[in-house]
Every structure is written in C-alpha cells, then in structure tokens.
C-alpha cells in the first residue's frame, strides 16, 4: 500500500484503488500497527479515483525530523577519504566505516524539505554539489520501521571535504532534501536482497540507469 500526503488529506492507494481519509498525518503514520490500520480504513471506505492525488506534499509532519546515515558502503568511504585528505580528515571516514557506532547525522527539519517534483537547492558558497538518492525509512517514535520512501540528500562536497566538522553546513540549509512522492507501507520489512532501480534524466533525456 501507498500513503500520499496531499492538501486534501491522506490518500491511501491499494491495488490501484484510492481512498481519501481525514486524519492528522503525524498521528496516523506514527503507529507501530500502520499496515493493519491502513488496511482497516480501506475496508471501511468507498473507493475514489486517482484524481485525488494532486498537490502532493512531502510525506513528513511538522514535528517530525529527517536523519541520515553516512559512509554506508566502501566506495563512499574511499570517496570521503580522498576529498578530506588535504584537510587531514581522511582518518575519520576510515574509522567510522569500521566502527560499531554508525555515522548518523541530523539532516533537516520539515520546513527545509521539498516534496516530489519540487526544486531542491544548493548553497551559494559551495563549488561542488551532488544529489544523493536514498532509500528512506519511516520510523515510529518506538523505533519500528513501518514504511519506506525516496529521499534526495543534497550535499556540498566542497564544504564537507574542506573539514569534516563542516558537515552540518554541507548538509542542512533551505531546500536541502526532497522526499516522496509517497510512503510505501509493508506488512514486513523489505527483503535485504531487494533491488533498487534508478533512472536519471536531464532535459527529459536519460543520462543514467542502474
């Protein structure tokens, strides 16, 4: 099932059928039984059509936060080491890749996040900026993963590479991330062998897929 946050309310998509519910987003999503609850709503409501999915908002509430994990694979480790070598920070990335405690950092408050199709931003004082497509987990206040969405973690490589302590400046600013278009709600966690497919288009031309 999929959940869309829209200006009209919450839209549930299930088996190509659509249901509009008038519920508070944060209260609805922050529930360890989200899958079961969403199923119950669809059983009790009449079907609508997909024209309800308009003015889609970023699937995050005003009191929720976006956090991110860094140096999660070997190429990321090597890349960050190379970028920060001149500043003497390469050892930090080498150590965190092997450490028991992962690199988890605060990414953004909701008002700095844009939704599906909106424009992300880069810093004026940055000379090298990259989008970072991410599998994004929806986690309740008790720590349970109840869904997934797509995230774009915009980052300033030039600022972070200058000094690892500049990470907050490289990561957090207006329009620094995008989320959406929806939350994919599953009964069980995704299989660890799940394949993620990505296409990058520029001026409507495919420049990368994999």
Q: What is the pTM of this model?
A: 0.87
Give percent of the chain above pLDDT 90: 70
Q: What is the pLDDT of residues 30-61, one digit of tens each?
A: 999 999 999 999 988 887 767 778 889 999 99
Query: What's the whole-number average pLDDT of the chain?
Result: 90
HSE of 8 in the Cβ direction (CA atoms, 13 Å)? 15
Region of 143 on the Ramachandran plot (φ > 0 left; ψ -120 to 50 alpha; else beta): left
Tell me the CA distances in angstroms from 174 to 97, 111, 114, 124, 207, one per residue in order.
29, 8, 9, 11, 27
Q: What does DSSP say about strands 145-153 and 183-185: parallel, antiparallel, or unpaired?
A: antiparallel
Contacts of 93 (CB under 8 A, 6+ apart): 71, 77, 80, 81, 84, 164
Mean pLDDT, residues 108-133? 96
What is the pLDDT, as a whole number, of residue 84? 64
Q: Residue 99 — pLDDT band, cuts 50, 70, 90?
A: confident
Q: Residue 68 — pLDDT band, cuts 50, 70, 90?
A: very high
Token readout for 180 is 């959406």
Task: Please determine, for residue 76, whether its predicted confidence score (pLDDT) is greater than 70.
Answer: no
């Amino acid at each position: 099932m999929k959940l869309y946050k829209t200006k009209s309310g919450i839209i549930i998509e299930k088996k190509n059928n659509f249901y509009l519910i008038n519920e508070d987003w944060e209260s609805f999503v922050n529930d360890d039984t989200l899958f079961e609850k969403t199923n119950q709503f669809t059983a009790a409501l009449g079907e609508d059509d997909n024209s309800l999915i308009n003015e889609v908002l970023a699937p995050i509430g005003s009191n929720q936060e976006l956090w991110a994990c860094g140096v999660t694979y070997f190429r990321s480790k090597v890349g960050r080491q190379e970028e920060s070598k001149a500043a003497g920070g390469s050892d930090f990335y080498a150590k965190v890749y092997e450490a028991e405690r992962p690199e988890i950092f605060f990414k953004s408050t909701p008002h700095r996040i844009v939704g599906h199709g909106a424009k992300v931003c880069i810093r004026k004082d940055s000379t090298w900026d990259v989008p970072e497509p991410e599998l994004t987990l929806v986690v309740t206040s008790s720590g349970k993963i109840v869904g997934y969405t797509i995230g774009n973690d915009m980052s300033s490589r030039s600022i972070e590479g200058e000094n690892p302590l500049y990470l907050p400046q490289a990561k957090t600013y207006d329009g620094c991330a995008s989320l959406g278009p929806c939350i994919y709600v599953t009964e069980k966690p995704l299989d660890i062998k799940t394949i993620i497919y990505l296409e990058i288009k520029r001026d409507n031309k495919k420049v990368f897929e994999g």
